[in-house]
C-alpha cells in the first residue's frame, strides 16, 4: 500500500516535468514546419494512400469482405505507434545522459515521456482514421466499415498497447545503456516484426500451421481486437482481449523490474 502511495506521490511530484518534456518534444518536432501539428493528421492518411495504391493496385492485395483502406490504416497507425514510441524510448535514457549526470531525476521519466508523446500523436491520428471510417459509409472503397457500440472497448485495447510499449521502452532503454548495439539490433528486429504483423496482408494468406504462431505477436492481438470491432462490427473474443491484457502486463512487469534493478548503475555506463 505504501509502495503504491509512494509511486503516486512521485508521479505527482514529477507531473510538471513530464508535461514539460512532452511539450518540448512537440515544439521541436514541428519547429519550422509550415503545417506543424497538421502533419500528425496528414501523415497517416498519406501513408495509407501510398500503401493502398501499392498493395491493392499493384500487388492486388485485399481482405475479403472488409474495407481494405480501414484495414490498412488501422494496421499502420497501430504499428507506427509501437515502433516510433519504443524506438524513441529506447534512446531516451542515453540521450538525456547530461541531465542524468547532473541533476537527480527519476530516470523512468524519459522513456515514459516519449511513449506518452507519441501516444498523443497516435490519438491525433485517430481523427483521420475515424474520418476514413465515416467516408467508407458513403461509398469510399468497396466495403463500408462499421460504427458500433463495441467502440467502447477500443480505449481498453489502446491502453494495453500503451502499457506494452512502455514496458518495452523501459526494457530497451535499460539494456541499451549497457549495450549500445541494441540500437542497431532493435532496428532490424522492428523490421522483421513489421513483416510478421499482418499490417497490409491478411493472416488468411499465411499457411494454417504458421497462423498459430501469430498469436504470440502482441501487436497482432491488439490489431486483431480493434479490427474485429471496426471492420466486422463484432465484439473481440474473450481470449483475444485477455491476451491483450496479459501481454501488456508481462511487458510492463519485465520492463519495470529490469529498469528498477539497474537504474542506479546507469551512471557508470553512459
Partner 1 sequence: MIKLENVSMRFNLGIERNYSIKEAFISIFDKKRRLKKTDFWALSDVSFEVKKGEVIGLIGSNGAGKSTLLKVVSGVMKPTKGKVTVNGQISPMIELGAGFDIELTARENIYLNGAILGYSKEFIDEKFEDIVEFSELRDFLDAPVKNFSSGMIAKLAFSIATVVDPEILIVDEILSVGDIKFQEKSKNKMMEMIKGGTTVLYVSHSLESIEELCDRVVWLEHGKVVKAGNTKEICKEYYKKQLNK
Give whole-number Cα distances, 111 to 134, 164, 186, 203, 212, in Å: 35, 13, 16, 32, 32
| Smallest separation (angstroms) from partner 1 to the CB of 255 | 21
Nearest residue (CB) to partner 1, 181 versus 204: 181
The sign one gets for the Cα dihedral 54, 50, 166, 164 is negative
CB neighbours of residue 16 within 10 Å? 9
* Non-local CB neighbours of 37 within 8 Å, separated by 6+ positions: 26, 30, 124
Q: What are phi and psi of 209, to 5 degrees?
A: -65, -40
180 SS3 class: coil
In whole angstroms, the minimum distance from the beta carbon of 120 to partner 1 comes to 18
Q: Are 96 and 150 in contact (CB under 8 A)?
A: no
Q: Measured from the CB of residue 173, what is the shortest distance to partner 1 in angstroms?
A: 16
Q: Which is nearer to partner 1, 16 or 212 (CB)?
A: 16
What is the C-alpha separation between 111 and 165, in angstroms, rounded? 10
Considering the complex, what minimum distance in angstroms separates the CB of residue 268 from partner 1? 6
Helix (H), strand (E) at residue 109: helix 109-137
Q: Which is nearer to partner 1, 20 or 148 (CB)?
A: 20
Shortest Cβ 164–partner 1 spacing (Å): 26
C-alpha cell of 253? Answer: 512487469
Binding residues for partner 1, per CB under 8 A? Answer: 13, 16-17, 19-21, 23-24, 27-28, 31, 98-105, 178-181, 264, 267-269
Closest to partner 1 by CB, 104 or 138: 104
Instruction: Compare residues 55 and 183 and give the one whose CB is closer to partner 1.
Output: 183
In the bound complex, what is the minimum distance in angstroms from residue 31's beta carbon to partner 1? 6
Cα–Cα distance, 25 to 29 (Å, whole number) = 6
> Minimum CB separation from partner 1 for residue 256, in Å?
19
Q: Return the number of the residue (24 or 54) whose C-beta is nearest partner 1.
A: 24
Which one-letter DSSP state was computed for residue 235?
P
* 3 state SS of 16: helix
CA 94 to CA 88: how far, in whole Å? 11
Residue nearer to partner 1 on the CB measure, 27 or 60:
27
Amino acid at each position: 500500500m505504501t509502495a503504491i502511495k509512494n509511486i503516486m506521490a512521485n508521479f505527482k511530484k514529477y507531473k510538471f516535468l513530464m508535461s514539460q518534456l512532452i511539450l518540448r518534444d512537440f515544439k521541436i518536432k514541428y519547429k519550422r514546419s509550415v503545417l506543424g501539428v497538421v502533419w500528425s493528421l496528414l501523415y497517416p492518411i498519406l501513408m495509407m494512400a501510398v500503401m493502398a495504391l501499392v498493395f491493392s493496385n499493384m500487388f492486388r492485395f485485399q481482405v475479403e469482405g472488409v474495407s481494405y483502406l480501414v484495414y490498412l490504416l488501422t494496421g499502420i497507425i497501430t504499428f507506427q505507434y509501437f515502433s516510433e514510441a519504443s524506438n524513441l524510448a529506447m534512446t531516451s535514457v542515453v540521450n538525456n545522459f547530461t541531465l542524468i549526470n547532473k541533476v537527480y531525476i527519476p530516470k523512468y521519466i524519459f522513456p515514459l515521456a516519449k511513449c506518452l508523446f507519441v501516444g498523443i500523436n497516435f490519438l491525433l491520428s485517430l481523427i483521420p482514421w475515424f474520418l476514413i471510417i465515416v467516408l467508407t459509409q458513403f461509398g469510399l472503397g468497396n466495403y463500408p466499415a462499421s460504427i458500433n457500440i463495441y467502440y467502447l472497448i477500443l480505449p481498453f485495447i489502446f491502453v494495453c498497447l500503451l502499457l506494452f510499449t512502455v514496458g518495452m521502452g523501459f526494457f530497451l532503454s535499460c539494456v541499451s545503456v549497457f549495450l549500445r548495439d541494441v540500437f542497431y539490433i532493435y532496428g532490424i528486429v522492428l523490421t522483421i516484426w513489421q513483416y510478421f504483423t499482418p499490417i497490409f496482408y491478411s493472416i488468411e494468406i499465411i499457411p494454417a500451421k504458421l497462423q498459430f504462431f501469430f498469436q504470440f505477436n502482441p501487436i497482432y492481438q491488439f490489431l486483431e481486437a480493434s479490427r474485429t470491432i471496426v471492420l466486422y462490427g463484432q465484439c473481440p473474443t474473450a481470449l483475444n482481449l485477455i491476451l491483450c491484457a496479459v501481454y501488456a502486463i508481462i511487458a510492463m512487469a519485465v520492463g519495470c523490474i529490469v529498469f528498477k534493478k539497474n537504474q542506479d548503475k546507469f551512471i557508470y555506463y553512459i
